[in-house]
């Protein structure tokens, strides 16, 4: 007998996201799963559970609802203070996002607010965002710093993420984004030196990934290569914001350095897409940010043709996508970009997990995976994007525990 301390039973459809014959979602009708100490230990038809599993713990009756793995959000900026709602309104009146990244506006404005906020206030804001992620079915996030841009405030942001991990079941994968923009109060070359010589070594023990924004408002290709090259030498895994606002070398740098992800990619060329696919990099696409900045559609067809895995992320941030809802981003990917519902579901589970190095553990349900799943009031798992702007999550399970709002 298999021992378990938690079970979900009577799922109308249980999408394992582990492909089976003729079914890329690996669905089990009238499915069930059992977990022990936060990991799945058994999965199959509900009628077989009692004979195979010794359950000493809670049972959650799905009552015919769909069950899928907890969603994985591979691009978020959850530690910040302040609001930029006025910039959103300005863009509706015709202002361009690039023009808002000057002087004391845009990202720099959020940096100032975040530097001024005390740690308790930042933690309270981040915890509220974590609750909204969980309420919308996300159980794992990649979490970037990048609104400090100096050693003390970046350290404060990592402290917030560490304390947040202890206060919420949301799984948090930390990323150092000191290469977000150059602060206006410091010489550009001096800031790049500080990144490479001080901050990157200081935060290696606290971050899994290093990210950089390779774009005209941020860092040049040569600066990006130097920063990410140094990070790789120190043992960071790499991510990169690339080709969001204009064509550039960012996707090539991601492929050259073997980055786990290249994010945004609205202006990626077919050759760059092929290079990313060959390098094993995941494209992390951010439909909500694209929607509010009115950016062009990413080259979805070229990505399909190249076999480039496409993850879907919320890109939670105060400037262009103040949303913790991956289902909303999935709807936008389908409606605005023509991705299929199945592609969007794979993008918010399997491919997102792959970009974080969590393939086989997050974004899927199989023995050994995290016992993270959500119960949904939808006809099929692929129907999630159909409910545009409506949260159909009935229950979120994280680590074999039913999450309840605090």
Residue 106 has what pLDDT?
A: 75
Q: What element of type H or E holds 328?
A: helix 326-337
CA 236 – CA 201 distance, rounded (Å): 10
Mean pLDDT of the chain: 96
Three-class SS state of 9: strand
Residue 293: alpha-carbon gap to chain centroid = 19
Note whether 270 and 299 are within 8 A (CB).
yes
The token duo for 142 is 């990649």
> What's the fold here for domain 71-355?
TIM Barrel (3.20.20)
pLDDT by residue (tens digit) across 331-359?
999 999 999 999 999 999 999 999 999 99
Three-class SS state of 342: helix
CA 329 – CA 287 distance, rounded (Å): 6
The token duo for 298 is 């990413």
CATH 2.30.40.10 fits 2-69+364-402, yes or no: yes
Categorize the per-residue pLDDT at 96 as very low, low, confident or very high, splitting at 50, 70 and 90. confident
* CA-based nearest residue to 210, from 181, 186, 239: 239
141 forms beta bridges with 73, 172
| DSSP codes of every residue in 184-229 | TTS-HHHHHHHIIIIIHHHHTTT-SEEEEEESTTSB-HHHHHHHHH
Domain boundaries, the chain: 2-69+364-402, 71-355
- For the chain, percent of residues with pLDDT exceeding 90: 91
CA 222 – CA 134 distance, rounded (Å): 39
Categorize the per-residue pLDDT at 103 as very low, low, confident or very high, splitting at 50, 70 and 90. low
Note whether 145 and 79 are within 8 A (CB).
yes
For residue 365, report the phi and psi dihedrals to the nearest 5 degrees: -130, 115
Say which residue the tokens 């992390």 belong to. Answer: 284
Residue 99 has what pLDDT?
A: 66
Residue 211: alpha-carbon gap to chain centroid = 13
CA 256 – CA 266 distance, rounded (Å): 19
pLDDT by residue (tens digit) across 161-174?
999 999 999 999 99
What does DSSP assign to residue 130? H
pLDDT by residue (tens digit) across 266-313?
999 999 999 999 999 999 999 999 999 999 999 999 999 999 999 999
Angle of CA points 326, 328, 334, to nearest 5°: 105
The token duo for 147 is 């609104």
């Amino acid at each position: 007998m298999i021992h378990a301390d938690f079970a979900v039973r009577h799922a109308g459809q249980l999408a394992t996201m582990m492909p089976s014959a003729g079914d890329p979602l690996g669905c089990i009708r009238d499915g069930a799963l059992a977990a022990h100490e936060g990991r799945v230990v058994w999965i199959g038809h509900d009628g077989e559970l009692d004979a195979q599993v010794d359950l000493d713990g809670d049972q959650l009756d799905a009552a015919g609802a769909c069950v899928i793995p907890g969603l994985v959000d591979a691009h978020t900026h959850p530690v910040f203070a302040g609001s930029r709602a006025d910039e959103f309104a300005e863009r509706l009146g015709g202002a361009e996002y690039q023009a808002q990244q000057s002087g004391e506006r845009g990202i720099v404005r959020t940096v100032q607010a975040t530097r001024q906020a005390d740690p308790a206030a930042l933690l309270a804001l981040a915890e509220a965002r974590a609750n909204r992620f969980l309420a919308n079915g996300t159980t794992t996030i990649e979490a970037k710093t990048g609104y400090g841009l100096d050693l003390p405030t970046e350290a404060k942001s990592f402290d917030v993420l560490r304390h947040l991990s202890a206060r919420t079941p949301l799984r948090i994968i930390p990323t150092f984004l000191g290469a977000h923009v150059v602060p206006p109060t410091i010489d550009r070359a001096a800031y790049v030196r500080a990144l490479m010589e001080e901050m990157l070594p200081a935060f290696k023990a606290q971050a899994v990934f290093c990210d950089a924004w390779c774009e005209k408002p941020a860092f040049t290709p040569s600066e990006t290569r130097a920063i990410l090259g140094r990070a790789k030498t120190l043992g960071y895994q790499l991510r990169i914001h690339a080709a969001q606002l204009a064509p550039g070398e960012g996707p090539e740098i991601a492929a050259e350095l073997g980055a786990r992800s290249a994010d945004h990619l609205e202006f990626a060329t077919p050759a760059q897409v092929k290079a990313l696919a060959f390098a094993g990099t995941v494209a992390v696409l951010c439909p909500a940010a694209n929607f509010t900045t009115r950016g062009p559609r990413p080259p979805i067809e070229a990505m399909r043709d190249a076999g480039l895995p496409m993850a879907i992320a919320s890109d939670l941030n105060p400037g262009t996508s103040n949303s913790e809802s991956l289902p909303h981003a999935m709807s936008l990917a389908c409606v605005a970009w023509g991705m299929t519902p199945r592609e969007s579901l794979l993008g918010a589970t399997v491919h997102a997990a792959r970009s974080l190095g969590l393939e086989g553990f997050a974004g899927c349900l199989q023995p050994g995976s995290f016992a993270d799943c959500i119960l949904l009031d939808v006809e099929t798992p692929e129907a999630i994007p159909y409910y545009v702007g409506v949260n159909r999550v009935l229950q979120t399970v994280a680590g074999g525990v039913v999450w309840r709002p605090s």
